[in-house]
């Protein structure tokens, strides 16, 4: 019995001498990272001149940077132990890599998001038919506040959902607002082919021109600045109407407008309300 317990006792007694300094360094590192994150968070909360989205974006980015720094420092602190153990755990590591494929893909997806600058906190994105506003992300997943219902509504539904970052490697990410200032939006109205489509196009165009007039000058200047900065052709922000025949029974009357991203729902509803009031009123008059 003594022969069995003696080696274990000797190992336990030798742990403080072998790993004691590394354990102390690790505890100091964890405490330092927690204090740094807490102080930075409190400092950001006091910056009331910044918008809530900006403060949240900085807080998320800071937390992720501290996490990466902490992981790197942990590897440096425990490098000798990791190197010793890694030599004898090659087979186990291969098995873990196979079983943890999804986790590894999440890490790679996070790296891809960072390098490609796919999105940041506050952006409206669509991925795998899921739409939402980004409110948080980390090495494993991204949390979105759902926008909808459906693809043609622009209101927050109040539901949160989290997607694994591995989806970034297999699905296309659509950013609905590449700029916080102005974006291009399309308002579409489905009608029967038998309806007076030209009249509908004229009414929709007039409504969009009138309602979007307050945004036009600033939107044009902003798009010109973006074109010069990125050396790309920017879309026109002036309202442009068009008709698309879907099939033998249905058609779409559409108008493209340039507006601030935060005004999508408000402006679209104002245009549709005026269109419904004028178009169907004229249809009723012509039928009597």
Q: Which two tokens stand for residue 206?
A: 């007039």
Average pLDDT (148-169) is: 81
Check residue 62 and give its pLDDT: 86
pLDDT band for position 97 (50/70/90)?
low
**Averaged pLDDT for residues 84-110:** 73
**Alpha carbon distance, N-terminus to C-terminus of the chain:** 106
Q: What is the pTM of this model?
A: 0.55
Question: What pLDDT is attached to residue 88?
Answer: 60
Domain boundaries, the chain: 2-88, 103-176, 183-287
Region 157-181 average pLDDT: 83
Backbone angles phi and psi of 128, in degrees to 5:
55, 45
pLDDT of residue 273: 93
Q: Which residues pair with 137 in a beta bridge?
A: 142
- What percent of the chain shows pLDDT beyond 90? 14
Q: What is the pLDDT of residue 1?
A: 44
Domain 103-176 falls in which CATH fold?
A: SH3 type barrels. (2.30.30)
The class (CATH top level) of 183-287 is: alpha beta
Task: Please give the share of the chain, as a percent, with pLDDT higher than 70.
Answer: 80
230 pLDDT tier (thresholds 50, 70, 90): low
Is residue 59's pLDDT more than 80? yes
The overall average pLDDT reported for the chain is: 81
Q: Which tokens is 65 given?
A: 């940077």
Mean pLDDT, rounded, for 126-150: 87
> Residue 119: is its pLDDT beyond 80?
yes
Predicted pLDDT of residue 178? 62
Kindly state the average pLDDT of the residues 147-176.
82
As a whole number, mean pLDDT of residues 14-21 equals 63
pLDDT of residue 2: 46
| Cα–Cα separations (whole angstroms), residue 4 to 14, 53, 66, 115, 257 | 17, 61, 44, 54, 80
pLDDT digit string (tens) for 269-287?
Answer: 999 999 999 888 877 777 6
Joined tokens for residue 9: 């006792």
Structure confidence at residue 82 (pLDDT): 72
- Rounded CA-CA distance 163/140 in Å is 9
Q: For residues 209 and 170, what is the distance between their CA atoms, to the nearest angstrom? A: 40
Cis omega before residue 9 (within 30°)?
Answer: no
How much is the pLDDT for 118? 85
């Amino acid at each position: 019995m003594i022969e069995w317990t003696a080696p274990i006792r000797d190992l336990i007694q030798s742990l403080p001498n072998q790993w004691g300094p590394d354990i102390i360094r690790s505890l100091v590192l964890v405490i330092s990272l927690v204090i740094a994150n807490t102080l930075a968070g409190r400092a950001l909360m006091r910056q009331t001149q910044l918008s809530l989205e900006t403060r949240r974006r900085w807080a998320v980015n800071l937390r992720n940077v501290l996490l990466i720094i902490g992981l790197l420092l942990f590897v440096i602190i425990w490098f000798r132990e990791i190197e010793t153990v890694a030599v004898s755990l090659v087979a186990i590591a291969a098995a873990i890599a196979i079983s943890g494929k999804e986790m590894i893909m999440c890490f790679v997806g996070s790296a891809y998001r960072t390098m490609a600058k796919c999105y940041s906190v506050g952006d409206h994105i669509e991925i795998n038919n899921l739409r939402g506003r980004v409110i948080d992300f980390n090495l494993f997943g991204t949390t979105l506040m759902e926008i909808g219902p459906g693809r043609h509504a622009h209101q927050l539904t109040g539901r949160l959902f989290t997607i694994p970052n591995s989806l970034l490697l297999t699905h296309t990410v659509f950013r609905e607002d590449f700029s916080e200032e102005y974006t291009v939006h399309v308002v579409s109205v489905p009608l029967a082919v038998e309806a007076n489509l030209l009249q509908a196009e004229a009414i929709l165009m007039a409504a969009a021109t009138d309602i979007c007039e307050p945004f036009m000058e600033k939107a044009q200047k902003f798009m010109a600045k973006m074109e010069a900065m990125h050396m790309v052709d920017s879309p026109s922000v002036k309202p442009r109407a068009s008709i698309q025949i879907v099939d033998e029974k249905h058609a779409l009357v559409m108008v493209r407008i340039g507006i601030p991203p935060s005004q999508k729902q408000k402006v679209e509803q104002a245009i549709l309300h005026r269109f419904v009031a004028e178009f169907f009123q004229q249809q009723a008059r012509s039928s009597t």
